[in-house]
Amino acid sequence: MRVYDLDAALAFFVNTLGLIELRRKDFPQWKFTLIFLGTGAEGDNAEIELTYNYDPQEPYSVGRNFGHNEAFMGFTFPEPKGGGIVIVSYPFLFQPS
């Protein structure tokens, strides 16, 4: 999933959903970073890949922005910490209007 604001995206996936960063690969020659997130639970091999392009020119449009990898569509998110209802506007993907 392409993200516009990496810090906000990580705050959402790590602090709200309780995922952990499994690994990170930086590609400065191509100006992007891949961050792989998951539950870290034994036997759980599901991962979400975040793609952060350095210095994006403008926020991504409202839409899917999944790039080439849609494997996370089958990913089961853990219960959000704190309970209650969670409403997400995904400001790390696009500029809110």
Question: The domain that contains 48 carries what CATH number?
Answer: 3.10.180.10
Sign of CA dihedral 65, 52, 1, 97: negative
User: What range defines the domain where residue 11 resides?
Assistant: 2-74
Q: What pLDDT does 76 receive?
A: 56
- Please indicate, yes or no, if residue 36 is contained in any of the structural domains: yes
| Short-list 29, 34, 28, CA closest to 47 | 34
- Please indicate, yes or no, if residue 9 is contained in any of the structural domains: yes
Do 58 and 49 form a contact (C-beta atoms < 8 A)?
A: no
Rg of the chain in Å (alpha carbons):
14
Cα-based torsion angle of the residue sequence 5, 81, 44, 50 in order, rounded to the nearest 10 degrees: 0
Per the confidence metrics, is the pTM higher than 0.85?
A: no
- Please indicate, yes or no, if residue 6 is contained in any of the structural domains: yes
Q: What is the pLDDT of residues 2-52, one digit of tens each?
A: 888 899 899 999 998 899 999 999 999 999 999 999 999 998 888 888 989
- Please indicate, yes or no, if residue 28 is contained in any of the structural domains: yes
Q: What is the pLDDT of residues 60-75, one digit of tens each?
A: 655 445 454 444 445 5
Q: What pLDDT does 71 receive?
A: 45
CA distance 61 to 93: 8
**Higher local confidence (pLDDT), 65 or 54:** 54
- Please indicate, yes or no, if residue 18 is contained in any of the structural domains: yes
Q: What is the pLDDT of residues 74-86, one digit of tens each?
A: 555 556 565 554 4
Q: What pLDDT does 79 receive?
A: 60
- Please indicate, yes or no, if residue 50 is contained in any of the structural domains: yes
